[in-house]
Amino acid sequence: MRKTMKTTMAVLASLAFIPAVAIASYRVGSPFPGDVTATTYYSSGTFHGAVDISSRNACGYWGVETGVVGSMSWNVTIRTTAVVCYGNGSGNQNEVKHTFANDYVIRQWHFLKEPTSVDKTCDRCQIGDEGGTGNVTGPHTHMQYDRYGTNNTSWYSSYTSKGEFLDRGETVGYIQ
């Protein structure tokens, strides 16, 4: 027992000399004031793996912002220029995304094209207005963090829950 205790203490003491590796962490804020309508699972029980936020306004609510706080380069893909509020088919969603060095990607979908819907480097900039492009049942913003098509839900799971209201910029979660 005594030898085990000494070994444990020696291991713990040696850990103090290992330099801490700095891992970049980014706060994700709500793109506009709204209700969290879906997170890891839809009401049906089907896996969703993202956060959906819907304003209490009609389609076209002004000023959907990029979620990540920190100056980042955003790639904007516009698949439709029409005002689409209740879906136009899977794969037709407008998208803004940033790819991190670890190959993870943060994406936001379904906004309406505006003059500000262009590739840019910014810190919480406007990308469009709330819409319903793609495969949706109504206007909202879909926020997803994935790598090679596999959604990561840990970034929001201890911060955000379905049914809560978030103000513009209020924390949705943290990504690393």
CA distance 171 to 67: 9
* Residue 58 belongs to a domain: yes
* Residue 142 belongs to a domain: yes
Q: Which domain holds residue 49?
A: 31-175
How far, CA to CA in Å, does 13 sit from each of 7, 9, 22? 10, 6, 21
pTM of the model: 0.85
Reported confidence tier of residue 22, pLDDT bands at 50, 70, 90? low
| pLDDT for the residue 86 | 96
CA-CA-CA-CA torsion sign (115, 53, 35, 28): negative
Q: What is the CATH number of the domain that holds 121?
A: 2.70.70.10
Provide the 3-class DSSP secondary structure of residue 2.
helix
Q: What is the mean pLDDT of residues 109-135?
A: 95
* Residue 166 belongs to a domain: yes
| pLDDT for the residue 13 | 47
